[in-house]
Amino acid sequence: MRHSEARLQYLDLSNNLLEFIREFDFFDLPNIRHLKLRSNRIVDIHVNSFSFISKLRLLDLSSNLLHSLKRGHFLYLSYLEYLFIQNNNIRVVEGMFDGLTSIIYLEVDSYTVCCAQPKTTSKIQCKAPVNEISSCNNLIDVPLLSTLIWYMALFAVFGNLSGLIYRSSVFKFNSKSCTSFVMFSINLGTADLLMGIYLFIIAGANLTFSGRYGLVDESWRHSHVCTIAGVLATLSSEASVLFVFLITVDRILIIRFPFSNLRKRKWVTKLLCTLVWTISLTLSFLPLLGSEYFSGYYSSSSICISLPLSVNRKPGWEYSLIIFVGANSAIFIGILLGQLVIFLMSLKWGSLLTFAGIDVTAQVYAWVTVIVLPINSALNPIIYTFSELIRRRGEESETTCHRRASAKN
């Protein structure tokens, strides 16, 4: 070893097309303080490569092809203060930063990498893109949302389940009492029930991974359970909005054409229901067909839905934009116009109906995901089932009064 090499303190090997760092590459450079290896093609670093440069203060490994850092990579770098590993695709490994007792600045690609930062030092600035929902401790980091999601799930599951049981006990599927409205409502309840199941899955995962979510984020997002949850959420949201649209059209027809035979033809209703489920199933399973465009579609978010509300462009974001924003907005406008038509028709016939709506902004990604998307599933049982139950009881009570009056006469 030459004396000049032994005294070398600053070494910049950036943009040199390096692919591997071997065990003894820095054996002759014990006094290195700053080592820059950015913008190479490094895919692997020997676990003992840095053991010979223990005086290192700054290490730049950014913009390489690294996928993992082993637990022992930094064991000998107790003086390291600045570490740059952004623009890689590094998986989180618990204890991957063991040995960095003096670290004060860490720059990474994902907040989950910050979750593995050494606990022995308290003053660490870890720079990473902000996550809209999750943190190192929780899948849903907002305490209010982590509580509300349980209530939303309970309303969606038990409300729709009660509605389905009620309709199944009152109406026979092929009887005359099973109108198109009833059939649409049964299918709507089924779609909304799926949203409740999705919410329970996310709430359960949030509870299961509480206190350590950042370390299991990748395994959770790429799990089969998360994929199933994403499919259920997409299937439910699309089927639900389409069935609400069909119910709106059905109500217009019954007011505008009360004696039309079209609504009484059950094959038309069955065909429409089949069409809605076919469309919804296609839209929800399309991202699973293996296309490169949809790579990681359902695993791009911790809540397993790729909503196009983040500034980060996730896989298939154009598809999400078309489905969740474009198509759904058009259908909602159709529903709104339909409800307006029903309202005007009701005024014309002297019956006043009141419709209420809640305008929720989409600026906060977490609130949109946990509250706005599934709220329709939680409210539909009240709107379409329990309101009808109250109406039917009122009719039965009125009939009973008429019978008593007739008996007295």
Residue 103 pLDDT level (bands cut at 50, 70, 90): very high
Q: Which stretch, 203-217, 241-255, 367-381, 391-405, has highest mean pLDDT?
A: 203-217
Residues 123 and 167 in one domain: no
For the beta carbon of residue 360, count every other beta carbon within 10 angstroms. 12
User: Does 155 lie in the same domain as 120?
Assistant: no
Residue 125 lies in a domain: yes
Q: What is the pLDDT of residue 34?
A: 95
Least confident of 12-16, 37-41, 294-298: 294-298
What does the pLDDT read at residue 252?
A: 80
pLDDT reported for residue 305: 86
223 and 301 in one domain?
Answer: yes
Please say if the pLDDT value at position 344 is more than 80: no
> Same structural domain for residues 290 and 360?
yes
Residue 308 has a pLDDT of: 67
- pLDDT grade for 361, boundaries at 50, 70 and 90: very low
Q: Whole-model pTM?
A: 0.77
Mean pLDDT of the chain: 80
- The size of the chain, in residues, is 409
Residues 200 and 119 occupy one common structural domain: no
Do residue 176 and residue 119 come from a single domain?
Answer: no
Same domain, 172 and 109: no
Which of 59, 94, 129 lies at the terminal end of a domain, its last residue? 129
Residue-level pLDDT at 283: 94
Domain termination site, one of 129, 160, 195: 129
**Quick one: 62 and 153 in the same domain?**
no
For residue 108, name the pLDDT band (cuts at 50, 70, 90): very high
More confident residue, 101 or 311: 101
Does a structural domain hold residue 356? yes
Residue 227 has pLDDT above 90, yes or no: yes
In this structure, the answer to whether residues 60 and 161 fall within a common structural domain is no
The per-residue b/e assignment along 272-303, b for 16 or more CB within 10 angstroms, e otherwise, is bbeebbeebeebbeebeeeeeebeebbbbbbb
**Domain extent for 29:** 1-129
Give the pLDDT band of residue 207 (cuts 50, 70, 90): very high
Alpha-carbon gap, residue 188 to 381, rounded angstroms: 9
Q: Would 268 be classed as within a structural domain?
A: yes
Domains held by the chain: number = 2
Domain stop point among 70, 105, 129: 129
pLDDT, tens digit (0-9, with 9 covering 90-100), for 80-98? 999 999 999 888 888 889 8
pLDDT of residue 369: 45
pLDDT at 365 over 50: no
The dihedrals phi and psi of 87, each to the nearest 5 degrees, come to 60, 40
Report the pLDDT value the prediction gives residue 179, as an integer from 0 to 100: 77
Q: What is the pLDDT of residue 42?
A: 94
Same domain for 189 and 111: no
Q: What is the pLDDT of residue 94?
A: 81
pLDDT tier at 402 (50, 70, 90 boundaries)? very low
3-state secondary structure the chain: CCHHHHCCCEEECCCCCCCEECCCCCCCCCCCCEEECCCCCCCEECCCHHHHCCCCCEEECCCCCCCCCCCCCCCCCCCCCEEECCCCCCCCCCCCCCCCCCCCEEECCCHHHHCCCCCCCCCCEEECCCCCCCCCCCCCCCHHHHHHHHHHHHHHHHHHHHHHHHHHHHCCCCCCCCCHHHHHHHHHHHHHHHHHHHHHHHHHHHHHCCCCHHHHHHHHHCCHHHHHHHHHHHHHHHHHHHHHHHHHHHHHHHHHCCCCCCCCCHHHHHHHHHHHHHHHHHHHHHHHCCCHHHCCCCCCCCCCCCCCCCCCCCCCHHHHHHHHHHHHHHHHHHHHHHHHHHHHHHHHCCCCCCCCCCCCCCCCHHHHHHHHHHHHHHHHHHHHHHHHHHHHHHHHHHHHHHHHHHHHC
What is the rounded distance in angstroms from the CA atom of residue 149 to the CA atom of residue 302?
A: 14
Read off the CATH number of the domain in which 223 is found: 1.20.1070.10
Backbone dihedral angles phi then psi of residue 44, each to the nearest 5 degrees: -150, 140
User: Is 312 within the bounds of a domain?
Assistant: yes
Q: Which of 84-88, 148-152, 304-308 has the lowest mean pLDDT?
A: 304-308
Q: Please report, for the domain that includes residue 28, its CATH number.
A: 3.80.10.10
Residue-level pLDDT at 91: 87
Same domain? For 225 and 368 the reply is: yes
Residues 285, 179 share a domain: yes
